Amino acid sequence: MKRRDFIGTTAAGTLGIISCNAVNTKESTMAKDFELKNNINHSVCHWCFNSILLEDFLIKMNELGIKAVDLMGPKEWPLLKKYNIHSAMCNGAEISLTEGWNDPKYHDVLIKNYSEMIPKVAEAGYTNLICFSGNRRGMNDQVGLQNCIDGLSKIMPLAEKHGVVLQMELFNRINHPDYMCDTSAWGIELCKGLGSENFKLLYDIYHMQIQEGDIIRSIQNNHQYFGHYHTAGVPGRHEIDESQELYYPAIMRAILATGYKGYVAQEFIPEREDKIESLKQGFLICDV
């Protein structure tokens, strides 16, 4: 049973009140032990916790007061709306991580996919839509950069019209050895080439720590190009606690100092048996 099942039943008498309190002891304890300042807008990538059914996961996020989930497409949006949870980073228009905007042979499909998805994102009340550069496959980075500009420029007017922000994710060369958008410098050049406030970089802190480090300075100097943030522990992409090398409270304070109002999404793969406890800890660490 859920707390909302008892709304409006307080007049049922003492037995009903006792029953309600007994059923909700665990939930009440959770609320007491888990209180957020919410200076950071928290989100989470469900794929890291996909051993938990999405609906059960959303119910748990409601109990925790987490208002958003990342990497959700149109098939999942109705369930998110059922639980009043925002889709902070939408997906579903991309082909794959490796087949992206840097290769003109994919442009026709990508332009069609994004032209159809952008209005859907806006109609659903969402803002951010992910995209990918694709792999090099021997292509020069400058050639790939220009190919991305040429292709993306064809859909940017539609994104601007609907208030949708396309966000290209940054990856590292260890986990994604041939992916082209693997440095913040390359991604920033793409942002400059497109010249639109509706194109940003999804700054994955885990990936960029592995690839180039200097996370706080990058955020301070280039935050205007970063539209969304993901977290995970380095090394291993696990919990963001003291077992890894990044100090997330300082990183979160640096993000807040830029005036950022968007979402920060947990994207670590939990090692502990109690995955939700790991997630709660991650939210609290970032809740500066």
How confident is the model at residue 3, as a pLDDT? 31
Token pair for residue 271?
């090692």
Of 266, 235, 240, nearest to 71 by C-alpha is 266
How confident is the model at residue 267, as a pLDDT? 98
The pTM assigned to this predicted structure is 0.88
**Could you give the C-alpha distances from 152 to 21, 96, 123, 220, in angstroms and in order?**
55, 16, 21, 27
> Largest alpha-carbon pair distance within the chain?
74
CATH number (3.30.470.10, 2.60.120.260, 3.30.70.1140, 3.20.20.150) of 47-286 reads: 3.20.20.150
**For the segment 65-124, what is each residue's pLDDT rounded down to a tens digit?**
999 999 999 999 999 999 999 999 999 999 999 999 999 999 999 999 999 999 999 999
pLDDT band at 22 (very low <50, low <70, confident <90, very high): very low
Of 251, 276, 262, 253, nearest to 224 by C-alpha is 262
Other Cβ atoms less than 10 A from the Cβ of 279: the count is 25
- DSSP assigned state of 12: G
The domain segmentation of the chain, as residue ranges, is 47-286
Q: Are 204 and 194 in contact (CB under 8 A)?
A: no
How confident is the model at residue 33, as a pLDDT? 77
Which backbone phi and psi does 230 adopt, to 5 degrees?
A: -120, 150
How confident is the model at residue 7, as a pLDDT? 34
Token pair for residue 59?
């119910």
**For the segment 28-76, what is each residue's pLDDT rounded down to a tens digit?**
444 457 899 989 999 999 999 999 999 999 999 999 999 999 999 999 9
Note the Cα 232 to chain centre separation in Å: 12
Note the Cα 41 to chain centre separation in Å: 11
Which backbone phi and psi does 82 adopt, to 5 degrees?
A: -60, -35
